[in-house]
Chain A
Amino acid sequence: MNVRFLYPVVVLALLGILFSLANTPNMVTHTLPVSQHDIAQMESSSFTVMMDVLTHQRCMNCHPNDDIPKQGDDRHPHYFGMARGINDKGFQATNCHTCHQSVNNKNSGVPGAPHWALAPASMGWEGLTRTEIAGRLLNRETNGNKSHEELIEHMTKDELVLWAWDPGVNANGVQRTLPPVSKEDFKKAVVDWFANGAVIPTK
């Protein structure tokens, strides 16, 4: 429990994150809190990494709190009035799968992944703080009755979640922005955060 001892580790972690970011279009600089409690710091850093992803538009666009999916880096409402509809998959006849298939489409620029749909309304995160999002994530009443193990599974293996790192090109053929953290770092952060008790930092 020596701050001076751990400090270089934190710096290294920081550099690691920055390195992983070097190839992504939008660089985000992460300032890790330096607290007196090292564990808390570790937790806090995995929490931050995880949340940097969850609050990124690639994730957030499909976790709306107004039943309207968002699109693009500016998070505009989905064009043509598409909405949550039935079972989070759009309207009766015109639904997500009318346009979105299980893979990205490089000709049309329409993104796709298996079971393309909105996150359930209970997982609407838009406008919530990181702490509030984490609360919803852990709460079995809002997370679809998932245990921690199931949440880890979902967040590190579900193809729709991992689509965020392979979002394809947009209608103009331009690569979509990636989350600010690499897929591997994100997975590690999720695993670490749960391994350390899934503590939601308090301010």
Chain B
Amino acid sequence: MATNKNSNKGVSRRKFLVKGGLGTLGVLAVGTYIFRNPIRRGILGKVNSLEMPYTDNTDKPMIWFEITSDNFIRLHSPKMEMGQGTFTGIAQMAADELSIAMHRIKVVHAASSTGNVDSFATGGSTSISGLWQPLRELSAMLRTMLLKEASHKLNLDIDQLIVEDGTIIGKGKQLTFAQVADGVDEWVVPDSPVLKDIKDYKYVGKPVPRIDLEDKVFGDPIFGMDAQMPNMLYGAVVRSSKIGSVFVSADSTTAEKMPGVVKIIHEADFVAVVANSMIEAENAKNAIEVIWESYDNLNTKDIVEIMTVGNGSSTIIQKKGKALKEKDNSLTMEFRTPIGAHAQIEPNGVVAFVKDGKAIIKISTQVVGLTRKEVAQRLDLDVEQVIVEPTFLGGGFGRRLHTPHAVQAALMSKAVGRPVKYFFSRKEEFQHDMFRPPTHHVISGNLNEEGLLNVLEHEFVSGDVGNDSALIPGFLPPIIGADIGAIRGGFIQYTGIPNFRSVYWHVDLPFATSWWRSLGLLANTFAMESFMDEMAIRAQMNAVEFRLRQIADDPIGIRLKNVINAVTDKAKYSENIVEGRAMGLAASIDANTPCAQIAEVSIVNHEIVVHKVTVAMDPGLAVNPDQIRAQCEGCVIMGISAVLYEQMFVENGELAPTIYGPYKMALMKNAPKEIDVVLLQGKDTPGAVGEPPLGPIGAAIANAVRRLTGERLTQLPLKLPKYI
């Protein structure tokens, strides 16, 4: 309401109290903030650098802040906390604009009943950047409203008042925010709140500790897996281990008689068990005989065959100058990346309670709005009757952008009239993941007399990332012709090259692939930056110089050069092998954030060991430098895991493996003992942080291995040939 020009001025507090069902004294709500959905103005050329603003769901009132009687502020976050530190960042922003100490701000996940629902998702490294302007404006607005009200209550001019740590002081009199808010029904909402000067911020820009640190160190029950409701039962859904299975029919005669079973639920597309405990549900589930139609004979080699450039349909996503006509004097290389699993430690799950035409859904989700919509549609409820209460996420990584299990749990709960908790088993997590798609890249280029690239061409094929997602409006993919997720990082960033093009190929896979942290960036950058190093070697040029000379001097190009220079200086980049160690460099731009990395690598007992990674990144204004460092460290280690170890296989129609261990991931011993992070600020607003550092790591390691061994590794996970 506040900034909606069509709305009435003045917000009724009582209205919000009733609507939100909040019982706290002195509660204040500040209303809506509207943006147009940025997806609708998505233009292909901009997709790669898209920085999405926060987008709310409706123009209905929404609760952002509550002021509690003990003068704390509860900030209802429309963005989910999945480890990326968003809660801390937005608390810093709100605390500064509200003039209140950070410890007085308690950030909670906005339940859908507060109206504060993000219509898109928590993802794409957009939370802080998207909320930067609206949240500070809302906070400033609240501060102004409180000042106006305080001026009225204290009978002083606003000019005579100052705000210190949530208390408004003037002429020896003072009122806390809570005292100001107490008993006020009608608020005067300012049209255009004045933001403070960034220089005057106490918290923004400082490495303040995460605000959820203690909750996480002392084991508080904050995750979806920890959610419960009185009188709760446990559910399990029968899932086929075969790829592409379509449910035909089920015989549950045996399962019905098993201990603890409350009900077997037969739906058109699935069959489920509700039982008294998780184990009983699991045991009964295993006793149900289901007939599926499925693929039986698929294997990894079939997937590789499908996933080959030239299959399917193609879209040119970037083009300049002329195409490479003759392959004379040119180098063409192929790269492949495998199917990757999310493997987040908290399994997907939900607690649902459906009764009397209402549904309550407690869930780890990255898509509150979508979860709510899907439950409402399937159960034929009004969207407002579905209350989604998001929890902390035990890892997101894109996995929780799909929550059909919320619908299944809701149907189970409706059938038994009691709350039902339903979580995936680990095997189901691995076999029914929405995987990182496998990719194949063909890259060609040739050099001019100066030793610089004359032509560079990237053709790549990927499984779907965004195309099949319920998050992307169905009309979009046909318009843009390319998958907006798969092409992330697939653009040529060396736009100083006179002739280049990038071509995306689309093929359909028999199993679901989708969003995986950084989307196409990990695979595309691995391929392209490996190729760049190979061309630098051909040109007999230092890899840094070879890159810098081919980056255009536009704003993003300059920022890219800056991170490359910064990482080179910090790591003291050298192409010599020193004491068995070599360095490898790679750089990428993702969502307008350039990042460069240097990996220091050696070979120990035939294995690639990463000793140190230096990261230089320019995410713009750093709201919390410590958490940006944490994201860089996390991306480096998750990246090492993905590029050195992780791989899903297809074996006789099944995705495998189905457990950690066989699905090899980085452990403590595989993490570099040194990770150095340099942060640059090439723009004055916050940019993407949580994904961009996943770009360079693959090629940085592969380039170091190339210098160490002479071998160019072109497939992930990177494996040394036997003779090394």
Does B bind A?
yes
For B286, list chain A residues within 8 Å (CB).
173
A80 is an interface residue with CB less than 8 A from chain B: yes
* Cα A172 to Cα B427 with chains together (Å): 8
* Cα A107 to Cα B426 with chains together (Å): 12
Stretch of B404-412, B463-471, B629-637, B661-669 lying at the A interface? B661-669
Q: Which residues of A from 170 to 189 have beta carbons under 8 Å from B? A: 171-173
Once the chains bind, are B279 and A79 in contact (CB under 8 Å)? no
For A172, list chain B residues within 8 Å (CB).
427, 658-659
* Cα A107 to Cα B286 with chains together (Å): 13
Q: Which residues of B from 91 to 115 have beta carbons under 8 Å from A? A: none
For A79, list chain B residues within 8 Å (CB).
660-662, 664
For A81, list chain B residues within 8 Å (CB).
667, 669
Once the chains bind, are B669 and A171 in contact (CB under 8 Å)? no
Partner of B279, one of A80, A107, A171: A107
For A171, list chain B residues within 8 Å (CB).
658-659
Q: Is the interface of A mostly helix, strand, loop or mixed?
A: loop
Once the chains bind, are B659 and A80 in contact (CB under 8 Å)? no
Q: How large is the interface on B (under 10, 10 to 19, 20 to 34, 35 or more residues)?
A: 10 to 19
Q: Which residues of B from 260 to 294 have beta carbons under 8 Å from A? A: 279, 286
Q: Is the interface of B mostly helix, strand, loop or mixed?
A: loop
Once the chains bind, are A80 and B661 in contact (CB under 8 Å)? yes
Q: Chain B 671-698 against A: per-residue CB contact (8 Å), 1 yes, 0 no?
A: 0000000000000000000000000000
Distance in Å from the Cβ of A94 to the closest Cβ of chain B? 11
List the interface of chain B (C-beta within 8 A of A). Answer: 279, 286, 427, 658-662, 664, 667, 669
Distance in Å from the Cβ of A165 to the closest Cβ of chain B? 25
What is the count of residue pairs linking A and B with beta-carbon distances less than 8 angstroms? 15
Q: A79-B664, A171-B659, A172-B658 given; name 6 further pairs at CB < 8 Å.
A: A79-B660, A79-B662, A80-B661, A80-B667, A171-B658, A173-B286
For B664, list chain A residues within 8 Å (CB).
79
* Cα A81 to Cα B667 with chains together (Å): 9
Distance in Å from the Cβ of A19 to the closest Cβ of chain B? 31
- 5 closest Cβ contacts across the A-B interface? A79-B661, A171-B659, A80-B661, A172-B658, A81-B669
Residue ID in chain B nearest A78 by CB atoms: B661
* Cα A171 to Cα B658 with chains together (Å): 9
For B660, list chain A residues within 8 Å (CB).
79
* Cα A81 to Cα B660 with chains together (Å): 13
* Cα A107 to Cα B669 with chains together (Å): 29
* Cα A107 to Cα B425 with chains together (Å): 12
For A80, list chain B residues within 8 Å (CB).
661, 667
Distance in Å from the Cβ of A74 to the closest Cβ of chain B? 10
Distance in Å from the Cβ of B367 to the closest Cβ of chain A? 31
Distance in Å from the Cβ of B287 to the closest Cβ of chain A? 12
- A-B residue pairs in contact (CB < 8 Å), sample of 15: A79-B660, A79-B661, A79-B662, A79-B664, A80-B661, A80-B667, A81-B667, A81-B669, A107-B279, A171-B658, A171-B659, A172-B427, A172-B658, A172-B659, A173-B286
For B427, list chain A residues within 8 Å (CB).
172
Q: Chain A 88-107 against B: per-residue CB contact (8 Å), 1 yes, 0 no?
A: 00000000000000000001
* Cα A81 to Cα B659 with chains together (Å): 16
* Cα A27 to Cα B658 with chains together (Å): 27
Residue ID in chain A nearest B670 by CB atoms: A81
Distance in Å from the Cβ of A68 to the closest Cβ of chain B? 12
* Cα A58 to Cα B80 with chains together (Å): 47
Distance in Å from the Cβ of B255 to the closest Cβ of chain A? 16
Residue ID in chain A nearest B668 by CB atoms: A81
Residue ID in chain B nearest A71 by CB atoms: B661
For B667, list chain A residues within 8 Å (CB).
80-81
Residue ID in chain A nearest B427 by CB atoms: A172
Distance in Å from the Cβ of A164 to the closest Cβ of chain B? 22
Distance in Å from the Cβ of B282 to the closest Cβ of chain A? 9
Residue ID in chain A nearest B660 by CB atoms: A79
Residue ID in chain A nearest B661 by CB atoms: A79
